[in-house]
Structure 1
Amino acid sequence: MTVSIGEPVPDFSASATGDNTITLSQLRGRQVVIYFYPKASTPGCTTEGGDFRDHKADFDGANTVVIGVSRDGIRAQENFKAKQGFNFELISDKDEAVCGLFDVIKLKKLYGKEHLGIERSTFLIDSEGRLAREWRKVKVKGHVEEVLEAARELHAQS
């Protein structure tokens, strides 16, 4: 089962940085941005994470929690978070359970070779746990501002 707009997002728990376990249902009452990125410490992922970091106060003002997800191990996620000064948690989804729920594992081509990897995607979940918006095949430039605008609009409606 994968998520769809307007429907409740199935609950999940996943290991995250800071020795945390993130459980979606425990975030009810707040909006949640979950963004999936291909690999920690790569240029596009660093830029995207930095944009979310730099707008954290704005997301807080819209009652919105930001969470990053990739298939990297927890140590790689901890290092990425520390090196970049990220002020939000990163989920280590090695078993692809969260990725599968959001259907972000896609066949990709790199240097002529095909492999399965994370398609850069972002999801906005409303304060009652329903999927409000999704962005797939994300281009990093300007993306966080677009997500923030959607989070603000959703928060204003609640």
Structure 2
Amino acid sequence: METLLNDFSVGLFAMQAIVLLIVILLMRKFAWKPILDALQDREDGIQEALESADKAKLEMQNLKASNEKLLQDARMERDAMLKEARDMKAEMISTAKTEAQQQADAMISQAQEAIELEKKAAIAELKAQMAALSINIAEKVVREELSNKDKQMKLVESMLSETTLN
């Protein structure tokens, strides 16, 4: 340390101080300001990138919420369409059952009417045959009875005795 103090020169110190001040001024003018400006630009760019990232994040959240809402709406619409289809199916089945029951009732009614008409026709034909048969039998019996005079008298007397006058 002592050698440093012995070799110390005020002129050299002043010269070095002036050179140092000139280097600092030159650095400040030509290097320091551009470095600070570059750092400020970089900081501004980073800040803008962060703001853009925040905006993108918000936009993604909005898109996600919008997609969720669209998905929910689509599900609701699908459910409504399925419910409507089930209702239509049930209504069609009910209508078909009702129509089938009506047709069956109409067919049964027609069959009953046809049976009743056939029954009446059969009864009428049976009555007609019975009447014809009865007339034939009566005719044969009357001929037999009326062929003999004694039998005629007996018949008249038996009828008169069976008949009561009021």
TM-score (norm 1): 0.17
Q: Which structure ranks higher in relative contact order (CA pairs < 8 Å, sequence separation ≥ 6)?
A: 1
Choose between structure 1 and 2: higher helix proportion.
Answer: 2
Greater C-alpha Rg = 2
